[in-house]
Structure 1
Amino acid sequence: MKKTVLFLVFALLLSCQTKAPSKIQDDAKLYQQGMHYFQRNKYVSAMDYFLEIKNRFPESPYVKDAKLRLADCYYFTREYIDAEIEYHQFTALHPLHQDIAKVWLQLGMSQFKQAPKSHQKDLNLIRTAKTTFTMITHKWPSSQEAQVARDMIQKCNDQEIEKQLYLASFYYRTKKYDVAIKKLEQLSLQGNVDLAYVASRNLLLAKAYLKTEEKDRAKNILQAILNNPDLKDYHSQAKKFL
């Protein structure tokens, strides 16, 4: 019991010795204290120290790393709008930084994380993130960041496909078959390995063709589904419309 009390007193005294960021006049100490919290995943506390360096010591040798860690703090606390702003500013001001590929990746992730989860909503941020990820694969094609970016591009593509399928289904349900057909015809799934997307698109397109009396087109699509062994889970649905 006595040891516990002594430990708590010592911890309290130690915490009291930590100065508020605004009271510290040394940039090195600010950065050191910020990293102390950052490395312990105490990102909210770390932010204050990195912000002090950014605002009060713009010529400091620590300012670049402080700005980058500040962006990371925003990202890890899910403040994705602020994270995007900080990462974007960093790429503009420090394009030759040794970790610039990682910064661009984090920028893309911040954009992606802001996007609405439902495919029913606007996906402009998904397209913005996809542009960022694509740039990474072109500029640093052999990097680890490019590998992650390629995976993220596929996730962006999936969300765009789901959005288009949702819209096409909506137009089909509301009997706007011509609009549904146009949406589905514009939806290219060439090279897509997700068979659920391929089957959903083709079945809906065939049904829409049947509604517009384009029976030959519908039959060709349905027969193609039946002839594809990889789509065997969808054969019974295709047979219903033949």
Structure 2
Amino acid sequence: MKVVKFLVMALSILVISCATKRPQGATEAEVLYKEAQELVGKSRYIQATEKLNLIRSQYPYSFYATHAELLQADILFSQENYAEAAAAYILFRDFHPKYNELGYVIFRISESFYRQLPETYDRDLSAGVEAIKYYNELMTTYSNTEYVKDAQKRIAQIEDMLEKKEIYIADFYFRTKDFFAAKNRYEDILSTLKNEQERPRIMANVEKANKELVEHPVESK
């Protein structure tokens, strides 16, 4: 009987200690935010989101309400929900234009679009165009941040994919004997071409396309 009482007492103490073991904070909003941070560190994103929702619903004017919005966007990013993360970061930027770490927010917007890119250049690259837009904004407005080097690398990578996509489309027109479309595409590519190894082949195809357009003007259009 004494053993049973001891076990019940020990279990009660354990439950009470677990229930009361919360981070310290000046306000309940701060405590909830710290709890959310701890849960994020353990990848317990659903529970962290519940804490953040409490802050936003019960303490909407708290100092931590703004931080809760950004942490929620970070959670979406960590969950690889990149489209939702991009929307959340953009919304945060629009509502908090004077936030002191806005360079981080812009970088995360860029990264959210970048991570939506397909593995190959022959698919939809519209996310890359959006990523470049925000990377450029980052480098223009927050040029002293630690994120600039990564932004430069990402832009170069995306631009390479976009260039390959344009060449891929022009080559398709050329193969299918749509010489008018191929010629126009190739000429646009040549004006900004970075991969100089492709230049001789593209110029040769332009000459062939011009020749076909002269010899068969009706069939080539």
TM bucket (normalised to shorter chain) is 0.7 to 0.9
State which of 186, 194, 204 in structure 2 corresponds to 1:206: 204
Q: Distance in 2 between matches of 1:13 and 1:178?
A: 77
- Kindly indicate whether residue 57 of structure 2 is the aligned counterpart of residue 55 of structure 1: yes
Match of 1:167 among 169, 173, 176: 169
Give the aligned partner of residue 224 of structure 1: none
| 31-40 or 109-118, larger mean C-alpha shift | 109-118
1:56-71 mapped onto 2 (5 Å cutoff) = 56-71=58-73
User: Which whole-Å CA distance do the structure 2 matches of 1:18 and 1:42 have between them?
Assistant: 19
Take 1:145 and 1:160, find their aligned partners in 2: how far apart are those partners? 22
Unaligned ranges ≥5, structure 1: 1-8, 20-24, 215-242
The 3-state SS of whatever aligns with 1:120 is: coil
Offset of 1:139 from its aligned partner?
0.8
Residue in structure 2 matching 1:178, options 180, 202, 220: 180
Q: Cα deviations across residues 129-185 of structure 1 (Å, max 9, x unaligned)?
A: 111111111112232222222222112211211210110111111111232221121
- Matched residue SS, 2:143: coil
Q: What's the counterpart of residue 218 of structure 1? A: none
Q: TM-score, normalising length from structure 2?
A: 0.76
> 1:18 and 1:118 mapped to 2: Cα distance?
52
Amino acid at match of 1:113: R
Which one-letter code corresponds to 2:106 in the other structure? W
Cα distance, 1:14 vs structure 2: 8.7
RMSD between aligned residues: 2.9
Deviation at 1:87, TM superposition (A): 0.6
The number of residue pairs the alignment matches comes to 196
Q: In 1, distance between residues paired with 2:16 and 2:197?
A: 63
Q: Percent identity?
A: 23
Which letter does structure 2 place at the counterpart of 1:152? Answer: R
Amino acid at match of 1:209: E
**Deviation digits for residues 34-72 of structure 1, max 9, x if unmatched?**
011122333343222223322332111111111111111
1:121 aligns to 2:123 (yes or no): yes
Q: Which runs of 5+ in 2 are unaligned?
A: 1-10, 22-26, 213-221
Corresponding residue for residue 108 of structure 2: 106
Aligned mates of 1:201, 1:62 — CA distance in 2: 55
Whether the 8 Å CA contact 1:44–1:73 is kept in 2: the answer is no
SS at 1:175 equivalent? coil
| Aligned-partner residue type, residue 93 of structure 1 | F
Within 2, Cα distance between the matches of 1:155 and 1:13?
A: 53
Q: Which ranges of 4 or more aligned residues in structure 1 deviate by more than 6 Å?
A: none
Instruction: For CA contacts below 8 A with separation 6 or more, give which structure has more relative contact order.
Output: 2
Query: How big is each residue's C-alpha offset from its partner over 1:61-104, in whole Å with a ceiling of 9 and x where there is no partner?
Result: 11111111111110011011221121111111222222110110
Tell me, yes or no, if the aligned pair for 1:75 and 1:83 is still in contact at 8 Å. Answer: yes
TM-score between both structures, scaled by the size of structure 1: 0.70
Separation in 1, partners of 2:188, 2:17: 62
- C-alpha change, 1:117 and 1:56, in structure 2 (3 Å) is farther
